[in-house]
Each structure stands twice: as structure tokens, then as C-alpha cells.
Amino acid sequence: MKAKSTSLRGSPPQEQKARQSKAKVKRMPYAERRAQILEKATELFAEYGLTAQTRALAAECGISQRLLYRFFPTKEDLLQEVYDTAIVGPFQARWFADLSDRNRPMHDRLNKFYNDYLDDVLDRRWLRLFLYSSLAEAGMAPDYISSIITKLTETIVAETARERGKRLDIDPEAVHEIGWTIHGAVSHYAIRRHIYDASQVIPQDMVVAMHVSVFLNGFDAIVSQFEQS
């Protein structure tokens, strides 16, 4: 009975504190509230997939579903905003310019880009969100590939060919596949680290340098293979 009495005495202050906290959250400015919803939505979808319910998201934010829909009228609107901010957002447009900077050798350009890409984009949350969107057959992954990775692979292959004085007379799809040999290798390295909890021993810069060397050393042979096909 004594323990029960103590518990009862502790309940009202806790409930009052919860109500006060909830009231404080309700007074959050519009822009701040919207940013909070996006952040929580990104975390929720990255952990549980795109099928996670907006009811759970509203609860995480301490608001009602009705209020959530004032910011994002449909789940599709919310997913689009998550894509724009969490998937596309971390990619820096300047990276295309850096990869095209012919004052630096391609070896250095690729090493710098992929170390930055691993640090700024391919973290655990980004990878889980991207993989979940692929499994859900949502538009996030295909849209990202068509809007960013296609241009990225074209830039990498074109700049590598130019540095070597090699003219590319191959199908555009072949160019993309050649670019994927390095981009896919680095992306899967990030998956091994953050999803499989593996590949943690060798320093990242050494792994990137290895993949860059493999790509550049085999570049001429790969291009020749497509030229002959």
C-alpha cells in the first residue's frame, strides 16, 4: 500500500508536466513545427519504412493528425517533402563542378568527391530511407537515380575519358554502366558499414582510394569492351 500511495502521489505532477510540455509544443511557430514534422517523419520512415502511419508521426510530434494535415494535406505530400529534404537535399551541386575541374587529376577529384559523398550523404538514415523506398516501389530511388546519379555517372566517365584522351563512341546506357562500376562499389561499401555493421576496420579514405584505383586502372579496357560490342 505504501508503494501504491507513493505512486499515486507522483502521478499528478507527472501528468501536469506532460500537459505543460504538450502545451508548449502546441505554441511552436509554423516554420519550426513544419521542420519538426519533417525531421520526425524522416526518422520514422527510415526506421520503419514508408508504410509507417501518420498517426504514429503525429504522436511523436505531440500533435493531432488533424494538425499534421494542416502542414501536409496528404501522406504523398509529406513523402515528397522528405524526398526533397532528406534524399536530394544533402547532395551538393558544387560536386559536379569539382568533378569537372580539369586543373586537378581525375584520381584526386574522385577521391575527394567520394569521401565527401560518404560523409555528407551515405549515412545510416539516408541509406535506410533509400532502401525502404526501393522496396516499397516508391518514386524516391528511381527519381534520385534519374535526376542525380545519371548525370553523376556521365560526368565521371566523360571526365575520365577526356583526361586519357579517349573519345567515347558508345551507347549512353553503356556510359552509365561504366560509371556505376565505381559508384555502385562505393555505395555498397556504405551499405556494408551502416546497414550490415561490417567493413569497419580499414579507414574510409583507403577504401575509397582502392575503388578509385580499380576504376581508373580498368577504365580503358571497360570502354574498349563496349566499343567492340
C-alpha cell at position 219: 577504365
CA distances 37 to 20, 22, 74, Å, are: 20, 15, 13
Output the CA angle 151-157-159, nearest 5 degrees: 95
pLDDT of the residue at 218: 96
Reply yes or no on whether the pLDDT at 28 is more than 90. Answer: no
- Are 104 and 23 in contact by the 8 Å Cβ rule? The answer is no
Q: Which of 37, 27, 21, 29 is nearest to 69 (CA)?
A: 37
**Residue 118: enclosing H or E segment and its boundaries?**
helix 106-120
C-alpha cell at position 65: 493528425
Reply yes or no on whether the pLDDT at 167 is more than 70. Answer: yes
Mean pLDDT of the chain: 89
What percent of the chain is modeled with pLDDT above 90? 82
Predicted model pTM? 0.84
Calculate mean pLDDT across residues 46-72.
94
pLDDT band at 2 (very low <50, low <70, confident <90, very high): very low
- Count of alpha carbons within 13 Å of 229, Cβ hemisphere only? 10
Cα–Cα dist 13/53, whole Å: 31
pLDDT band at 229 (very low <50, low <70, confident <90, very high): low
Q: Which amino acid is at 88?
A: V
C-alpha cell at position 87: 534524399
Calculate mean pLDDT across residues 4-18.
40
Lowest mean pLDDT among 19-23, 33-37, 45-49, 179-183: 19-23
Output the CA angle 115-120-210, nearest 5 degrees: 20
Reply yes or no on whether the pLDDT at 185 is more than 70. Answer: yes
Reply yes or no on whether the pLDDT at 146 is more than 50. Answer: yes
- Are 119 and 104 in contact by the 8 Å Cβ rule? The answer is no
